[in-house]
Amino acid sequence: MTDWNALSDEAFRKDVREFFAANYPHELRFLPRRLRWAECRDWYLTLSRKGWIAPGWPKEHGGMGLSPAKQLVMLEETERLGIGRMPDQGITQVGQTIMRYGTEAQQKKYLPPIIAGEHVWCQGYSEPNSGSDLASLRTTAVRDGDDWVINGSKIWTSMSMDATHMYVLVRTDPNAPKKQEGISFMLLDMNAPGITLRPIRNIAGHEEFAQVFFDNVRTSADSLVGELNKGWTIAKTLLGFERLGIGSPRRPRYAFARLEKVARSRGLLEDPAFADRYAQLRLDLADLAALYERYVDQVRRGEALGPDVSILKIWSMELYQRTSELLLEAADEKAALDGMVDFDDESVDVLAPFYMARPGTIYGGSNEIQRNIVAKDVLRMPQK
């Protein structure tokens, strides 16, 4: 097995660039939406066969065990080629959680199919009346013989239409004195009888999430991850991973690359007022990349992420929105055009980053909630 960490960054970048260019389908480059499983399955399997599907996972679980610097190289090459985001929650979220909290049997059962592309995961946290106040969730799991029986509903479940499995937060003790104490973290098969889905269309016209209904859905007793009624702690750890993923410079950089093309093509960098705003975003992006690298390093050292990772999420998504807004301004009268828009020698999707940046301050815990976390748990500001 190749030790990718032993290569120089330049040699590794060359390998990654060549492999991506030779294998990633041309028609899936720079799509203004997430990839559906049916269209990216072959690409997922190609990466899997190469041993590259889980750059951050340790080698013993089928990952690359890649250093943070080289993970950034992969990320940069992914962006450069316009490779879309796959349904990747198995790799980026639940896999890490099973490694940390799951039993050996759960690790054996669930980790290899993620690497092999046999299981596609979605996240069942939010409910119609429990979003920011997630701990108020009401979907229940009641023990019946060797099974748990689940009833209730989850909403905004990204890519659930493509998922084979869901990791879900359920109420297992309705009488717990604190609402956080009666919640458990479970795994379930999306093909189990009693699950129905209602896809939801977003403002850009794409169906990327759904409401999921559970009517006496059974999952086996060994689907419980960690201790009974201690799922809140696991959920918080997993949200830390999610905030790290959302905090990656990838999306703001995507928007900035488009801003740069439009600004150059329209000669806007000659305008000092515009150049000032452009330079500010460029510097903010450099700050974000540096901060992100620090957190990735922390994860690689096996350290838990603290509440301060919320700062990364806030900064990344607000920068994404600010950049996509300046892109629209720069595009001027062409800003309202959907799809690829021509600017002299460049063709740029100006509206897509704007649409994609809008929900960024909501998902993964809204930015207002992240600010509350920073105020309370990082700055220890007095609470009313």
**Is 369 a binder of ligand FAD (CB under 6 A)?**
yes
Provide the minimum distance between the beta carbon of 59 and ligand FAD in the complex, in angstroms, as a whole number: 29
Residue appearing with tokens 């994860």: 299
CA distance 198 to 214: 12
Residue 365 three-state SS: coil
Provide the minimum distance between the beta carbon of 23 and ligand FAD in the complex, in angstroms, as a whole number: 28
Name every residue whose Cβ is closer than 8 Å to that of residue 83 and which is 6 or more positions away in sequence.
20, 24, 28, 29, 43
Q: Which two tokens stand for residue 213?
A: 């209904």
**Is 214 a binder of ligand FAD (CB under 6 A)?**
no
CA distance 323 to 148: 46
Using the minimum distance from each CB to ligand FAD, give the nearer residue, 61 or 358: 358
CA distance 292 to 316: 9
Using the minimum distance from each CB to ligand FAD, give the nearer residue, 155 or 268: 155
Query: CB nearest ligand FAD: which residue?
Result: 131
Site for ligand FAD, residues 172 to 211, rule: CB under 6 A? 209
CA distance 235 to 238: 5
Helix ranges restricted to H, 199-266 = 231-246, 250-265
**Is 375 a binder of ligand FAD (CB under 6 A)?**
no
Provide the minimum distance between the beta carbon of 320 and ligand FAD in the complex, in angstroms, as a whole number: 13
Size of the site for ligand FAD (CB under 6 A): 19
Residues shown for the chain: 384
Query: Is 227 in the active site?
Result: no
CA dist list (Å): 212 to 30, 124, 166, 199, 337: 29, 8, 10, 9, 34
Site for ligand FAD, residues 155 to 174, rule: CB under 6 A? 156-158
Binding mask 126-155 for ligand FAD (x = CB under 6 A): x----xx-----------------------
Provide the minimum distance between the beta carbon of 163 and ligand FAD in the complex, in angstroms, as a whole number: 10
Helix ranges restricted to H, 27-67 = 37-50
* Position among 45, 135, 362, 375 found at the interface with ligand FAD (CB under 6 A): 362
Name every residue whose Cβ is closer than 8 Å to that of residue 88 and which is 6 or more positions away in sequence.
none
Binding mask 88-127 for ligand FAD (x = CB under 6 A): ----------------------------------xxxxx-
Provide the minimum distance between the beta carbon of 300 and ligand FAD in the complex, in angstroms, as a whole number: 25
* Position among 30, 37, 274, 363 found at the interface with ligand FAD (CB under 6 A): 363
Residues facing residue 207 across a β-bridge: 201
**Is 355 a binder of ligand FAD (CB under 6 A)?**
no
* Position among 264, 359, 375, 378 found at the interface with ligand FAD (CB under 6 A): 359
Amino acid at 383: Q
**Is 240 a binder of ligand FAD (CB under 6 A)?**
no
Using the minimum distance from each CB to ligand FAD, give the nearer residue, 157 or 321: 157
> 76: number of CA atoms within 13 Å, CB side?
14
Torsion of CA 250, 372, 210, 125, to 10 degrees: 110
From 127, 242, 329, 333, active-site residue: 242
Catalytic residues, by residue number, are: 242
- Applying CB under 6 A, the residues found at the interface with ligand FAD are 122-126, 131-132, 156-158, 209, 359, 362-363, 365-366, 368-369, 372
